[in-house]
């Protein structure tokens, strides 16, 4: 285990110096808070992460959940963690005060969750899922549903889940077949199968509350017939007692990583006795669920950035200690070996990791800021922030997920053979993080979402707002001599994005939808690189100001490091858009024309 899984200095830098979180306290909603209370909260999150989560990080992987007698047993500390999460208010961290929540801005809650995920991703998922499910009930549920379910969930005694996927309906949610049959008793009778349900059942809680998608009997085909239900493992009977609700756990999946959290297969209503309670309007389920899914997508990006961060710090610690080889220019074998962090290629790998991890986190907090501003502002300004958040969500989910894998792989590589062995945590990070490009929508799905929906919605309004945001950052950076060249480079990158986008809009008019969207995943990658470059330029602008103010040496190490990571991103990552753009302007339909039978043999 490395002694450290993230940089608190970096969290402070991003929240205070870059995104000015305290500026939100001028709004009524957050007026109870100030910089000090935000700081205390981060400190409390660190204490919980360091004291309870990080020590069991490897243990939970080595002793994954077991499925015994229709029951899933999880690590003993999960109960304690969920109780602490309830007591400490972590589950209701972003819920309103009136429901016992802490009503904190997203920027802060995102950072707190990031801390838990960096310490122990599998553990952190349990309360996060409950929080997301609770918010859905709060926003769309009837009063009695709220009263019946929220207290148990917010106290950490009950688990919440998202129950969407079915054996024949993963990416294609329109094909779910779980059925809800209306009764005259205020509930629906539920029947179906759900798979891949994270924390879908376990013995660290008294009850599990599924926020489940199903189709009301006779509903229209496709997504227009999907409704949202609360389906508890144990329902509350007339006497207020918890009784079984015919939700059977029929198995768990054995996974590459992320092993501390059970992924369940659920059988619903096998004995015709499963009650479900409608949340929101009939046939509006997907729309409601999208609130949770969009938050969950930012959450997945945060989890990915968190694991990449922890992996980076583990690789950094090893690279400082491990002696191997000598400087290339002084290969005298009688000299002592040097720490590998002195080798340029190791520094390159570390800078790569830092630029991915810290660039991703900045982008995520930027999304948090848009969410916060959307919640406190009104009218045009509210819409603007909502649109920017909508546009960036597929990127904030996918970029950290995809690049996090490469970053962690580079971390493992720093350790050589040791990275491949379980004496060090890198191999686990490598396994854990592989889930991120898959869950909450695969990268391919997010490519389609970005190019096929977000960029063109409202006549490209979100896209234009995005261009303005980046252009503003370019102008501000351009005022600093140290950043002039980089500001120009991002300007050129933005022009390339516009050229590619314009080309694709032309394709959309002339060609089939298949050809227009064939390389949407590459477009997502291109957009992601430019977005993270933007976030690095924003950070660098703060850094240059700080360095001019002559900090203490230890502080200038931090800022100098930031500046090198920024330069690294512009020198090594940003140029990747050249190759992507070259492909994206060629709509030859190669992958459309390739026939399945050509893969034969």
List residues with catalytic annotation: 440
Contacting residue, 521, 531, 539, 541, with a copy of itself by CB under 8 A: 521
Contacts of 368 (CB under 8 A, 6+ apart): 19, 105, 106, 107, 109, 110, 298
Is 14 an interacting residue with respect to a copy of itself (CB under 8 A)? no
Alpha-carbon dihedral angle through residues 414, 417, 418, 422, given to the nearest 10 degrees: 120
Q: Which two tokens stand for residue 547?
A: 């360095």
| Closest distance to a copy of itself from the beta carbon of 158 (Å) | 25
558 binds a copy of itself (CB under 8 A): yes
* Contact status: 68 vs a copy of itself (CB under 8 A): no
Judged by CB under 8 A, the residue of 80, 142, 255, 382 near a copy of itself is 255
- Interaction between residue 575 and a copy of itself (CB under 8 A): yes
Q: Does 542 engage in binding with a copy of itself (CB under 8 A)?
A: no
To a copy of itself, the closest distance from the beta carbon of 33 in angstroms equals 26
Q: How far is the CB of 529 from a copy of itself (least distance, A)?
A: 10
Distance CA 476, CA 179 (A): 55
Rounded distance between C-alpha atoms, residue 116 and residue 474, angstroms: 33
Residue 575, both tokens? 């140029």
Which of 20, 144, 175, 206 is the binder for a copy of itself (CB under 8 A)?
175
* Residue 191: closest CA among 94, 266, 106: 266
Q: Which stretch binds a copy of itself (CB under 8 A): 26-34, 42-50, 171-179, 242-250?
A: 171-179
Q: How far is the CB of 87 from a copy of itself (least distance, A)?
A: 31
Q: How many Cα atoms within 13 Å fall on the side-chain side of residue 472? A: 6
Tokens 């690294």, located at residue: 568
Binding flag, residue 596, a copy of itself (CB under 8 A): yes
Candidates 97-105, 205-213, 496-504, 566-574: pick the segment binding a copy of itself (CB under 8 A).
Answer: 566-574
Based on the shown chain and the rule CB under 8 A, indicate whether residue 177 belongs to the binding site for a copy of itself. no
**Angle between helices 520-548 and 576-584 in degrees, nearest 10:** 150
Q: Does 7 bind a copy of itself (CB under 8 A)?
A: yes
**Contact call for residue 583 and a copy of itself (CB under 8 A):** yes
Tell which one of 32, 59, 144, 345 touches a copy of itself (CB under 8 A): 345
Length of the chain: 601
211 bridge partner residues: 162, 230
Q: What is the footprint of a copy of itself within residues 410-449 (CB under 8 A)? A: 412-413, 416-417, 419-423, 427, 430-431, 434-435, 437-439, 442-444, 447-448
* Contacts to a copy of itself from residues 111-170, by CB under 8 A: 165, 168-170
The C-alpha atoms of residue 317 and residue 484 are separated, in whole angstroms, by 34
Q: Taking contact as CB under 8 A, which single stretch among the options 66-74, 302-310, 496-504, 555-563 is the one that binds a copy of itself?
A: 555-563
Range in contact with a copy of itself (rule: CB under 8 A) among 76-84, 242-250, 382-390, 517-525? 517-525
- Closest approach, Cβ 30 to a copy of itself, in A, equals 28
Q: Which of 31, 43, 217, 320 binds a copy of itself (CB under 8 A)?
A: 320
CA proximity to 519, closest of 573, 443, 467, 457:
443
Contact between 314 and 408 under an 8 Å Cβ cutoff? The reply is no
Stretch that binds a copy of itself, among 85-93, 234-242, 284-292, 334-342 (CB under 8 A): 334-342
Task: Give the DSSP H or E segment for 329.
Answer: none
**If binding is defined by CB under 8 A, does position 507 make contact with a copy of itself?**
no
Nearest by Cα to 397 from 296, 467, 306:
296
Number of residues interacting with a copy of itself: please give it, by CB under 8 A: 115
Q: Is position 35 an interface residue for a copy of itself (rule: CB under 8 A)? A: no
Q: Which residue in this structure is represented by tokens 């229709």?
A: 70
How many angstroms separate the CA atoms of 352 and 576, rounded?
13
Give the side-chain half-sphere CA count within 13 A for 430.
16
Q: What are phi and psi of 269, to 5 degrees?
A: 70, 30
Enumerate residues 191-220 that contact a copy of itself by CB under 8 A: 195-196
Measured from the CB of residue 95, what is the shortest distance to a copy of itself in angstroms?
A: 30
Residue 521, CB half-sphere, CA atoms under 13 Å: how many? 9
d(CA 589, CA 587): 5
Of the residues 23, 172, 177, 498, which one makes contact with a copy of itself according to CB under 8 A: 172
Per-residue x/- marks for a copy of itself, 461-500, CB under 8 A?
----------------------------------------
């Amino acid at each position: 285990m490395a002694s450290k899984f993230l940089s608190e200095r970096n969290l402070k830098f991003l929240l205070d110096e870059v995104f000015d979180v305290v500026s939100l306290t001028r709004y009524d909603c957050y007026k109870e808070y100030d910089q000090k209370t935000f700081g205390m909260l981060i400190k409390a999150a660190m204490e919980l992460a360091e004291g309870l989560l990080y020590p069991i990080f490897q243990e939970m992987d080595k002793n994954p959940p077991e499925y015994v007698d229709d029951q899933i047993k999880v690590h003993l500390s999960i109960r304690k963690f969920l109780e602490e999460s309830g007591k400490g208010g972590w589950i209701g961290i972003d819920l309103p005060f009136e429901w016992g929540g802490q009503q904190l801005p997203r920027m802060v809650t995102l950072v707190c969750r990031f801390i838990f995920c960096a310490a122990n991703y599998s553990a952190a998922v349990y309360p996060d899922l409950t929080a997301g499910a609770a918010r859905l009930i709060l926003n769309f549920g009837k009063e009695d549903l709220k009263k019946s379910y929220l207290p148990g969930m917010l106290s950490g005694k009950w688990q919440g889940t998202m129950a969407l996927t079915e054996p024949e309906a993963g990416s294609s949610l329109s094909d779910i077949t779980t059925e809800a049959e209306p009764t005259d008793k205020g509930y629906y009778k539920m029947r179906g199968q759900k798979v891949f349900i994270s924390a879908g059942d376990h013995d660290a809680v008294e009850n599990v509350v599924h926020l489940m998608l199903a189709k009301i009997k006779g509903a229209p085909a496709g997504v227009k017939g999907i409704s949202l239900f609360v389906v508890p493992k144990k329902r509350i009977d007339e006497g207020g007692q918890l009784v079984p609700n015919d939700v059977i756990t029929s198995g768990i999946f054995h996974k590459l990583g992320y092993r501390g959290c059970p992924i369940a297969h659920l059988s619903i209503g096998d004995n015709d006795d499963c009650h479900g309670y409608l949340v929101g309007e009939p046939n509006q389920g997907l729309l409601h669920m999208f609130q949770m899914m969009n938050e969950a997508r930012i959450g997945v990006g945060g989890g990915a950035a968190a694991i990449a961060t922890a992996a980076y710090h583990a690789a950094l610690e090893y690279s400082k200690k491990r002696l191997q080889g000598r400087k290339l220019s002084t290969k005298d074998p009688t000299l002592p070996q040097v720490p590998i962090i002195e080798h340029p290629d190791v520094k390159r790998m570390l800078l790569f990791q830092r630029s991915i991890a810290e660039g991703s986190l900045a982008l995520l907090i930027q999304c948090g800021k848009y969410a916060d501003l959307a919640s406190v502002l009104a009218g045009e300004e509210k819409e603007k922030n909502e649109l920017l958040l909508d546009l960036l969500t597929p990127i904030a989910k996918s970029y950290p997920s995809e690049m996090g894998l490469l970053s962690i792989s580079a971390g493992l590589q720093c350790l050589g053979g040791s990275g491949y062995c379980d004496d060090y945590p890198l191999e686990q990070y490598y396994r854990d993080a592989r889930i991120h490009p898959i869950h909450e929508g695969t990268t391919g799905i997010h490519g389609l979402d970005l190019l096929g929906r977000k960029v063109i919605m409202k006549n490209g309004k979100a896209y234009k707002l995005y261009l303005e945001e980046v252009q503003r950052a370019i102008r501000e950076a351009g005022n600093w001599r140290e950043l002039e060249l980089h500001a120009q480079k991002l300007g050129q990158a933005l022009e390339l994005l516009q050229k590619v986008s314009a080309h694709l809009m032309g394709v959309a008019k002339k060609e089939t939808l298949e050809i227009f969207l064939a390389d949407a995943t590459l477009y997502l990658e291109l957009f992601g690189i430019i977005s993270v470059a933007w976030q690095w330029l924003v950070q660098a602008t703060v850094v240059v100001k700080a360095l001019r103010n002559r900090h203490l040496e230890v502080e200038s190490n931090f800022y100098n490091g930031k500046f090198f990571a920024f330069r690294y991103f512009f020198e090594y990552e940003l140029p990747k858009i050249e190759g992507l753009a070259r492909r994206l302007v060629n709509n030859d339909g190669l992958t459309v024309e390739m026939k399945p039978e050509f893969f034969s043999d």
